[in-house]
A and B are shown apart, each in its own frame.
Chain A
Amino acid sequence: MLSHLLVILVKLLLGAYPRWIGVQPTRAQRVYFANHTSHLDTVALWAALPAELRRRTRPVAARDYWSRGLRALIAQRGLNAVLIERHRDRSEGDPLQPLYDALDAGDSLILFPEGTRNDEALPKPFKSGLFHLASRFPEVEFVAVHLDTARRSLPKGSLLPVPLICTVRFGERVVPGIGESKESFLERARAAVVELA
């Protein structure tokens, strides 16, 4: 119910039109990773997916931010988000464990590897979690995604979104090479997102 409402609201305000450039919308298990500039990114990418894929795709969100009040309702009931600890010292064991569990269960994920919202047009360097996931789940497709106007719609620190048409571009799969270093893979993944801009 809440998730239907979210999708309708996002489509009305942002359009969230998908462009399948590098991959097609198939039922393959995937991790969609995208640039992160606005809270709208998560819902825009999620709403851009066909309804059937949306049901099995869970956004990854920071527990410290998304576990209170209205945010918790949207993240947990609306988007069925996977919550993770951003700060390593606060987590017991591997902070990525909830992601491993979700992927083991067969779900797809939406991930923002910059770790936080970024005010610049180009994404910041990616955090290493993406590399660990890609090494551990070689059969999962890691797909680069770019969102264009979310930053202008709802920049960090504002409450009311400006209605702008958001185009969600789905690019190429990024596969880690044999023995490829973490830095090299993360830089290639980031370049794949930038290329879609």
Chain B
Amino acid sequence: MNFSDSLQRFVAGAPAQFWWVMGGVLALLVVASAIGQTLTRVKPGSVVDNLNARINAWWVMVAVLCACFLLGKVATLVLFAIASFLALREFITLTPTRRGDHLPLCLCFYVAIPLQYWLIGANWYGLFVILIPVYGFLLLPAVSALAGDIGNFLERNTKIQWGLMLTVYCISHAPALLLLDIPGYEGQSLLLLLYLLLVVQISDVLQYVFGKLFGRRKLAPEVSPSKTVEGLLGGGLSAAAIGASLWWITPFTPLQSGLLSLLIVLCGFLGGLALSAVKRSLGAKDWGEMIEGHGGMLDRLDSVTFAAPVFFHVVRYAFAG
């Protein structure tokens, strides 16, 4: 079978809703790029340059995500495992670790990440939810103690645990949506993941846009100088409205979809805020610089870390059979 045949098979295999949503995202990106280009001509400056860098990075991120969705479950899990790997790398790079942390860190990168995502692929929900908070929580400090370095023992272990929870455990709850068996929604769980990511990221983007256009009152100037009340209200409510209007790709009614989007927006906002505080207490402005204009992987996924586990468990409790 040659490449174009397999491509055709993938494209035909995706549900119609997927292509409608992707078409919408594509249209948004085209409009965003057009606005970005116009602003470059009308009002050049560093803010507009950053905006264009962000939009270009979005094209790449959407393309990668779309490709993985079409390739299916395994590719999507691998993509999120790589995202966790890069996010954990950013977190640990900013964390002052010592010689005694070497083995615990190797366990985090080379054992915890593959195992956590394998458990999703193997449909092993019971172990997936406790692997890191129970076994990781106990094993890592034990291994660290065996190395014999007691200097700042509690601080070092706390930071490693935090990094692992946020970047691996929390982020893995986004693709864990593929685990859910929702009556009447069989075989469409990738759409639910797409829904979560869309609402989180559109909320981030709209909060940024509303903040830049109408932002007056800063919400938490010490923690995150770009977050404003106007940005949160305008961006958050618009994102929830967009989420409600996407009910047709979910197992929810329009009202349920709106409320769940509001929950995603709220958790995403709190996640962005908390991770910004963590980042600043580690002495950095951005988590990294791998995504042009955005900062690091964790700058892009900070909202997902809080939104994904809450969304996952609410949907599992209320909708999964």
Contacts and interface: CB of A to CB of B under 8 A. Distances in A.
Interface string A145-162: 000010010010010101
A160 B85 CA distance: 16
B85 A163 contact: yes
Contacts of A155: 99, 102
A165 B295 CA distance: 14
Contact of A165 (B93, B99, B106): B93
Interface of A: prevailing SS: loop
Contacts of A66: none
B83 interface: no
Contacts of B89: 163-165
A160 B106 contact: yes
Interface in A150-191: 152, 155, 158, 160, 162-165
B288 interface: yes
Interface of B: prevailing SS: helix
A162 B109 contact: yes
Interface string B76-120: 000000000100011011000111001001100110000000000
Interface in B98-147: 98-99, 102, 105-106, 109-110
B102 A158 contact: yes
B92 A162 contact: yes
A162 B112 CA distance: 13
Sort chain B's interface into a size bin: 10 to 19
Nearest to A167: B93
Contacts of B288: 165
A147 to B, nearest CB: 13
Given A17-B289, A149-B93, A162 B106 contact: yes
A105 B187 CA distance: 64
A160 B288 CA distance: 23
Contacts of A160: 106, 110
Nearest to B90: A165
A165 B99 CA distance: 17
A20 B106 CA distance: 31
A152 B156 CA distance: 13
Contacts of A149: 93
A26 to B, nearest CB: 24
Given A152-B97, A165-B90, 8 more contacts: A15-B290, A152-B98, A155-B102, A160-B110, A162-B92, A162-B105, A164-B89, A165-B288
Interface of A: 15, 17, 119, 149, 152, 155, 158, 160, 162-165
Q: Which 7 A-B pairs have the closest CB atoms?
A: A165-B93, A162-B105, A164-B93, A163-B89, A160-B106, A155-B99, A158-B102
21 contacts: A17-B289, A119-B99, A149-B93, A152-B98, A155-B99, A155-B102, A158-B102, A160-B106, A160-B110, A162-B92, A162-B102, A162-B106, A162-B109, A163-B89, A164-B89, A164-B92, A164-B93, A165-B89, A165-B90, A165-B93, A165-B288
